[in-house]
Chains A and B, each alone.
Chain A
């Protein structure tokens, strides 16, 4: 329609002088730019500006309630030698990699199970979502009690079964604490992965499986050569999100351990909050946040280029 309208207007304009303004008025690109302006303003205001401000803050010595001066990369130089910062980087990577890998494995398994014809399928699918529905802080508080050093239900049960003699020190021991928070994160994150992958599974045409079954494919072969390839685009999206959510997790850690014991569970996000908001060193906190960006970019790039390398997924034929 637009082309037709343009064609009709065209001759009329030819009557007037072909001024620059007239030509501009008729220019689709120019008009298009105007139409994009609200969206662009929205993006700049709510995405680019905060990000830019964060990066700028990281280059200053701003404190809470007092604007700072530009100090170049001093905050980063300081962090480079800061053992607590590097510990938080290690914790974040461990947390993200272990939790995401297990969430993927368990989520995929659950999705495959739920895709079968089970009795009470709808109810089961709804139940699986529960950990995801409960607000993080609530579930974190539940885990806080589960992991309590004196009143843990797990310790209590095991003690009464005679399996252990003393309470398990879930959050007081460095490695116990790490595994405990990872477990809580997995518990919370699995439903998201499972339900999204389930949605992906349901788009796979049953006729493909029928054909494969007739050809004598085993269950593993059907998964490996039909389900998995058709699922990869969804996997790429789900895992990108899952990794991003896990990497930037905050609430769970903050409620459970506040980064303790001895900073063993401090993630970059929690350390950034502690330094910036709690201790008032906005500049340094912003530097920690900014230091997360390269890791996040790398995670996105890996999942998009790693999992979406097949050209046919983007509408071209395979090589």
Chain B
């Protein structure tokens, strides 16, 4: 094995191809050698259970299971995998943290570990090891991993890029040969699409992924912020009001019913041909490709980065998937070994490829993975980790920011303003009060 080291594997973007060739006995040899040399030695008779979010791309989960299997073969550590929908990972993790019993590892969303930082295993050594080896972490991953503290409480495995999905032909017909790049153009686009009977829409129900993504993008694009860098609540501002007015104008050009949408609604509606643009991960595209009856949708759609608002720089908000080990685990060394193993090039490159663009790396070296260039429609997702802001905006990613997002404060503010239940000022007032409570 000495003639190809892990370092050479990632060189030149051929990593996945080479790693792909590593199968069967060769892979097992590699995994065993890794287990021998890794800084973390699993405890005797160690067993791990991991709870992850339920996949949207089947091949991504298959690759995940393959990684777990090869880890078991290499180290003898048995792994039990449980899956829960996006919304249910957090309650399960919260209850486990509170009772001190449950799965050893949780793979969740956003700043989940910061809801109970003192219950998460210190994984600074794993993060340093990976960062050094794979070209460093993107800055937002460091923020999510450490929060305001000095130690890493979770390993930011990857982002799930949430970008604009749009139908090519309908957009062209509406006069947009390429997707709008500014908020003004975006509004004009929404209007034109609605006018010709091919409207789109973005979720305003309690959709943790799609809903939070677009309202935070909107708030930040106009210079609004939940808190300043000292976690002082500053939601009540003319900028927030502008963002709400923009969102209301957009909402008037959505299909009816977006106020009830959760994360799955826009996928169904887009694949059903009911909407012609929305915000989502790459899962709609992958689903369309996999379904022979939806092939023409896959061919007639593309992805675009979020338009830039008056603030003049990208204000995207992407879903991070952090992996944390709980302090109550009996096998901290095995947990750390697994975390490191998952992000080694031999595993992660295959995983990225299998996820078809649904997952985006937080480690710079993996930008060279061929998944980002093989299909140009996946390329925009390559950069989401670098463009995103973190939960809490200017403020810390700690438990307060996690609480605010989990209680849908910003999302409800937008929904109240868009549906006309409150005017912009009234909606801000309600949000302001709730935020002050959370950030007291």
Chain A interface residues (CB < 8 Å from chain B) = 63-66, 78, 81-84, 147-151, 166-167, 169-174, 177, 257-264, 274-275, 277-282
Contact = CB atoms under 8 A, between A and B. Distances in A.
Interface string B397-410: 00100111011100
Interface string B173-206: 0000000000000000000000000000000111
A64 B98 contact: yes
B376 interface: no
A281 B399 CA distance: 10
A147 B205 CA distance: 14
Contacts, number: 130
B240 interface: no
**Secondary structure dominating the interface of B:** helix
A263 B419 contact: no
B6 to A, nearest CB: 36
A61 to B, nearest CB: 10
A81 B433 CA distance: 10
Nearest to B409: A279
A84 B435 CA distance: 13
A262 B419 contact: yes
Contacts of B118: 65-66
B206 A259 contact: yes
B151 interface: no
11 contacts: A64-B97, A64-B98, A64-B116, A149-B255, A150-B255, A172-B259, A261-B260, A262-B415, A277-B95, A278-B91, A280-B403
Nearest to B415: A262
Given A84-B434, A278-B91, A260 B257 contact: no
Most A CB within 10 A of own CB, among B119, B257, B262, B438: B257
A277 B421 CA distance: 27
B116 A66 contact: yes
Interface string B36-66: 0000000000000000000000000000000
Interface of B: 87, 90-91, 94-95, 97-98, 115-116, 118-119, 204-206, 255-262, 265, 268-269, 272, 274-275, 399, 402-404, 406-408, 412, 415-416, 419, 421, 430, 433-434, 437-438
Given A64-B98, A277-B95, A258 B205 contact: yes
A262 B259 contact: yes
B260 A149 contact: yes
A51 B399 CA distance: 27
Contacts of A262: 259, 412, 415-416, 419, 421
B322 to A, nearest CB: 15
Given A64-B98, A277-B95, A167 B205 contact: no
Contacts of A150: 255, 257, 265, 268-269, 272, 274-275
B119 A172 contact: no
Given A149-B261, A258-B262, A279 B407 contact: yes
Q: Which of A84, A149, A166 has the most CB of B within 10 A?
A: A149
Contact of A78 (B90, B407, B437): B437
A14 to B, nearest CB: 57
Contact of B256 (A64, A83, A166, A177): A166
B399 A280 contact: yes
B199 to A, nearest CB: 11
Nearest to B421: A262
Nearest to A260: B205
A65 B94 contact: yes
Contacts of B434: 82, 84
A167 B257 contact: yes
B171 to A, nearest CB: 20
B430 A261 contact: no
Contact of B259 (A65, A78, A167, A173): A173
B256 A172 contact: yes
B119 A169 contact: no
Residue from A65, A84, A151, A281 having most chain B Cβ neighbours under 10 A? A65
A170 B219 CA distance: 28
A261 B259 contact: yes
Contact of B415 (A148, A169, A260, A274): A260
A84 B115 contact: no
Contacts of A258: 87, 205-206, 262
B94 A64 contact: yes
A167 B258 CA distance: 12
B437 A275 contact: no
Contact of A83 (B95, B269, B430): B430
B226 to A, nearest CB: 14
B109 to A, nearest CB: 12
Contacts of A66: 116, 118
Contacts of A264: 421
Contacts of B408: 274
